[in-house]
A and B are shown apart, each in its own frame.
Chain A
């Protein structure tokens, strides 16, 4: 058994800070690489309160004199510019769940250890990921987008991993060699880190019991009588002398996550900062399912205005984003969302975001390629179309498909959206997937003048344009048209109510352009338009 414990020492602060846009203090420019800077320290002084007492403060706030345990009023008097947020266990749990989801990408045996520790049993995954050092490296890399400070530790038992993660950061990548070595490491764990010892810390200190080793040297019966059995049981579990079954977490079948924004968001940039947190959680959830996101819904909850009170529907705006090709790539989802948000008029400021996803498709993420091939270019093309769809709307992205119908207005099926054409499965009545005509495609290199004759004009008018008629000669904008070929009779559609019986001619206008015009087969009534323009040979 090999357990990894991931401790998030600043989880509460980080989950709060994630919704704030970073601000740089002008008087203290940040020296060095931005990557080295903790995101918690980028937003200025921030502290969390619970029951009017400070429970966490970042470095900038601590510099101002804010300390954990202070009263809210004291903290504000010392550092008035400190931003105070309410501690929220639900928010912390959502952030912790995202970390657990990422770990589920490595092993199915993931559980919460308490005190913001996530435990994962990775013994069975070591070979697949190429050994423990590589696995840990990859684990840290995949946790980077979530933006948490991490303490990672490895241990042969779950309880041991929990304590090691709480105590120190450096993971012991070499498995513990001997039982004695492991006993020594567990023995050094201070009692202050043990959850079961929390109610008895003062008594333990008075007795001079500071570490786990001090505890197990004492008579068991006495300790159990004074402090309960849990303390020693935890030590036994850490040492591996007592079974420690953990229930593995299961990723929820649908994804629901919400995020309360500390600042009201009035523009798309502020919304995107918050949405990025949710998108990272979404991709973490998709990782846990080993799946790809095929679409999601983002709901923007507005602050309540008086005019909205009558209409509950206007209190939130729903954005639905569907993907032609499922992805597990936060950057792409982010860019799609940006296009949508940029052209979305906001009815009011947004105070909360919630993201919902139930469309997930199984499949591992695509391998990245050393040299881009035609296939990877195709993927980029698909993503480009998705971005167009997100910005311009599905109805503005059209694909054409020929339909087996003689009536020109029905011979082209327009499919909206950028999804690639489905495979050749044809339901009755569905558009034909005509094979590419043998002629031009194969002779595309030959002389175009000898291509087979073009049967239909490239451009069709949406509505046939009635032409003025002068003694049987059609006129287009006052100039006569000359018939040069035809007639081609199209008579079809008596069964579906759009009966057409027309004689088509190819006509030439006074400048030499070729047009496609028709007249009805039956003779026109007096005063009725005889000729119609249907298309142009582009």
Chain B
């Protein structure tokens, strides 16, 4: 006679339960990231909703918007609003439109105090997706408040923070360290997720900026080429 627990796998008892070597599933729907390789490693198979996701980024311009473009485009196409809070530079409308964002439903919020609108936006549950560039010094307490507020937010919520805080604890259930991996590519390290630790970063091919020839050029070892050669090659 086998015990009931051996008949029924433990993780089937409750959707919030998972084994340490498995990926968490979560009860909530997820939003597919658009990158199959990334979805395979994210708990539930996509960006979580009702929770904040931390994107740890060494600087601006590593392809973070291209990474988020598929999910933001889909949220906008569903008729829901997208909020960009405190972006690090002026967003270019044409580029955002080309990435598929619905500009009519995309609002940029600026100002000194961005935590208040961020918390209100998450709490209201009326926003489709939120991308917030966090102020450099964000207290753990503020993050906990945001995480709490996000529980009524039906959509992905991204908080972009500097890579230096990767070692600090955070209440966000999902934390990703983004770094460049060559032209039009990105390496995503999952610093924290509901599931086993992942040693290897996930390599993603981003929406391209460069043509195939230009990418080849960018990949060739640089030391052998002088700038004059590069210019003449381009011409």
Residues in chain A within 8 A of chain B (CB atoms): 374, 377-378, 380-381, 383-385, 387-388, 391-393, 396-403, 408, 411-414, 418, 420-421, 434, 436-437, 439-441, 444-445, 447-449, 451-462, 471-473, 480, 482-487, 505-506, 508, 511-515, 535-538
On whether the beta carbons of A458 and B96 are closer than 8 Å, the reply is yes
Q: How far is the CA of A231 from the CA of B93 in the complex (A)?
A: 77
**Top 7 nearest A-B pairs by Cβ distance?**
A536-B61, A449-B205, A440-B100, A459-B89, A380-B126, A485-B214, A473-B227
Interface residue? B35 (CB, 8 A): yes
Nearest CB on B from A406, distance (A): 10
Q: How far is the CA of A437 from the CA of B113 in the complex (A)?
A: 34
On whether the beta carbons of A455 and B89 are closer than 8 Å, the reply is no
Q: Which residue of A lies closest to B117 (CB)?
A: A388
On whether the beta carbons of A514 and B61 are closer than 8 Å, the reply is yes
Q: How far is the CA of A520 from the CA of B126 in the complex (A)?
A: 46
8 Å CB contact of A401 from B59, B95, B103 = B103
- As a 0/1 sequence over residues 72 to 90 of chain B, the CB contacts with chain A under 8 angstroms (1 = contact) are 0110010111000001111
On whether the beta carbons of A482 and B222 are closer than 8 Å, the reply is yes
Q: Which residue of B lies closest to A431 (CB)?
A: B93
Which residues of B sit under 8 angstroms from A439, Cβ to Cβ?
Answer: 98, 100
Of B91, B95, B99, B228, chain A has the most CB atoms within 10 Å of the CB of B95
Q: How far is the CA of A454 from the CA of B94 in the complex (A)?
A: 10
Q: Given the interface contacts A418-B107, A508-B183, does A461 sit within 8 Å of B90 by beta carbon?
A: yes
Q: Given the interface contacts A392-B111, A436-B97, A482-B230, does A411 sit within 8 Å of B92 by beta carbon?
A: yes
On whether the beta carbons of A401 and B66 are closer than 8 Å, the reply is no
Chain B interface main SS type: mixed
On whether the beta carbons of B89 and A412 are closer than 8 Å, the reply is no
On whether the beta carbons of A538 and B63 are closer than 8 Å, the reply is yes
On whether the beta carbons of B61 and A538 are closer than 8 Å, the reply is yes
On whether the beta carbons of B218 and A484 are closer than 8 Å, the reply is yes
28 contacts between A and B (CB under 8 A): A374-B79, A377-B80, A381-B126, A384-B126, A385-B107, A387-B120, A396-B109, A396-B111, A398-B107, A401-B93, A408-B92, A412-B93, A441-B77, A448-B35, A448-B206, A449-B208, A458-B66, A459-B89, A459-B91, A471-B227, A482-B227, A482-B230, A485-B234, A511-B58, A514-B209, A536-B61, A538-B64, A538-B65
On whether the beta carbons of A538 and B98 are closer than 8 Å, the reply is no
Chain A interface main SS type: mixed
On whether the beta carbons of A396 and B104 are closer than 8 Å, the reply is no
8 Å CB contact of A487 from B180, B215, B234 = B234
On whether the beta carbons of A456 and B95 are closer than 8 Å, the reply is yes
Q: Which residue of A lies closest to B187 (CB)?
A: A512
Tally inter-chain residue pairs, CB-CB below 8 A: 235
On whether the beta carbons of A484 and B69 are closer than 8 Å, the reply is no
Which residues of A sit under 8 angstroms from B93, Cβ to Cβ?
Answer: 400-403, 411-413
On whether the beta carbons of B87 and A483 are closer than 8 Å, the reply is no
On whether the beta carbons of B74 and A444 are closer than 8 Å, the reply is yes
Q: How far is the CA of A466 from the CA of B36 in the complex (A)?
A: 40
Which residues of B sit under 8 angstroms from A505, Cβ to Cβ?
Answer: 234
On whether the beta carbons of B34 and A512 are closer than 8 Å, the reply is no
On whether the beta carbons of A457 and B92 are closer than 8 Å, the reply is yes
On whether the beta carbons of A384 and B100 are closer than 8 Å, the reply is no
On whether the beta carbons of A462 and B100 are closer than 8 Å, the reply is no
Nearest CB on B from A341, distance (A): 15
On whether the beta carbons of B66 and A453 are closer than 8 Å, the reply is no
On whether the beta carbons of B107 and A397 are closer than 8 Å, the reply is yes
On whether the beta carbons of B92 and A436 are closer than 8 Å, the reply is no
Interface residue? B181 (CB, 8 A): yes
For window 134-157 of B, CB contacts with A under 8 Å fall at none
Which residues of A sit under 8 angstroms from B74, Cβ to Cβ?
Answer: 444-445
For window 100-124 of B, CB contacts with A under 8 Å fall at 100, 102-104, 106-111, 113, 116-117, 120-121, 124
Q: How far is the CA of A421 from the CA of B103 in the complex (A)?
A: 10
On whether the beta carbons of B34 and A448 are closer than 8 Å, the reply is yes
Nearest CB on A from B203, distance (A): 11
On whether the beta carbons of A461 and B103 are closer than 8 Å, the reply is no
Which residues of B sit under 8 angstroms from A402, Cβ to Cβ?
Answer: 93-94, 97, 103
On whether the beta carbons of B61 and A445 are closer than 8 Å, the reply is no
Q: Which residue of B lies closest to A387 (CB)?
A: B120
On whether the beta carbons of B126 and A454 are closer than 8 Å, the reply is no
Nearest CB on A from B154, distance (A): 10
Q: How far is the CA of A480 from the CA of B228 in the complex (A)?
A: 13
Knowing that A454-B209, A459-B87, A459-B90 are A-B contacts, what are 10 other residue pairs whose CB atoms are under 8 Å apart, sorted by A's residue number?
A: A383-B126, A408-B92, A436-B100, A440-B99, A445-B74, A485-B211, A506-B210, A512-B183, A513-B180, A538-B60
On whether the beta carbons of B89 and A448 are closer than 8 Å, the reply is no
Q: Given the interface contacts A399-B107, A444-B34, A483-B234, does A512 sit within 8 Å of B92 by beta carbon?
A: no
On whether the beta carbons of B120 and A506 are closer than 8 Å, the reply is no
Nearest CB on A from B40, distance (A): 14
Q: Which residue of B lies closest to A391 (CB)?
A: B116
Q: Which residue of A lies closest to B72 (CB)?
A: A444
Q: Given the interface contacts A388-B117, A482-B230, does A396 sit within 8 Å of B110 by beta carbon?
A: yes
Q: Given the interface contacts A482-B218, A483-B230, does A456 sit within 8 Å of B208 by beta carbon?
A: no
